[in-house]
Amino acid sequence: MLDTMAPYKPGKAVAAPDGRSYKLSSNETPYDPLPSVVEAIAEGARRIHRYPDPGATRLTEAIAARYSVPPEHVALGAGSVTVAQQLFETVGEPGVEVVYAWRSFEAYPLLADLAGVTSVMVPLAGEDHDLDAMAEAVNDRTRLVFVCNPNNPTGTSVRRGPLEAFLDRVPEHVLVVLDEAYIEYVRDDDFPDGLTLYRDRPNVCVLRTFSKAYGLAGLRVGYMIAQEPVVSAVRKTIIPFAVNHLAQVAAIASLEAEDELLDRVERVVKERTRVRESLLGQGWTVPPTEANFVWLRLGGRTLDFAAACAAEGVAVRPFAEEGVRVSIGSPEANDAFLAAAASFAAK
Nearer CB in complex with ligand PMP: 177/333: 177
How many other CB atoms sit within 10 Å of the CB of residue 325? 25
Q: Is 156 in the site for ligand PMP (CB under 6 A)?
A: no
Residue 21: CB minimum distance to ligand PMP, A: 20
Report the site for ligand PMP in 87-116 (rule: CB under 6 A). Answer: 105
**Considering the complex, what minimum distance in angstroms separates the CB of residue 26 from ligand PMP?**
7
Identify whether the C-beta of residue 152 lies closer than 8 Å to the C-beta of residue 169: no
CB distance 14 to 314 below 8 Å: yes
Residue 148 binds ligand PMP (CB under 6 A) = yes
Amino acid at 316: V
Of 182, 229, 235, which is closest to residue 204 (Cα–Cα)? Answer: 229
CA distances from 64 to 37, 41, 76, 120, 224 (A): 20, 22, 11, 33, 11
Q: How far is the CB of 247 from ligand PMP (least distance, A)?
A: 11
Q: Which of residues 167-206 bind ligand PMP (CB under 6 A)?
A: 179, 181
Q: Could you say which of 25, 29, 60, 152 contacts ligand PMP (CB under 6 A)?
A: 152
Which residues, numbered 221-280, are part of the site for ligand PMP (CB under 6 A)?
Answer: 222
Query: What are the residues whose beta carbons fall under 8 Å from the beta carbon of 190, sequence distance 6 or more?
Result: 159, 160, 161
- Please state, as a whole number, how many other Cβ atoms lie within 10 Å of the Cβ of residue 199: 13
81 binding ligand PMP? (CB under 6 A): yes
Of residues 25, 29, 60, 80, which one binds ligand PMP by CB under 6 A? 80
Question: Omega into 331 within 30° of 0, i.e. cis?
Answer: no
Q: Closest-CB residue for ligand PMP?
A: 79
Nearer to ligand PMP, 63 or 338 (CB): 63
Contact residues: ligand PMP, CB under 6 A: 27, 79-81, 105, 148, 152, 179, 181, 209, 211, 217, 222
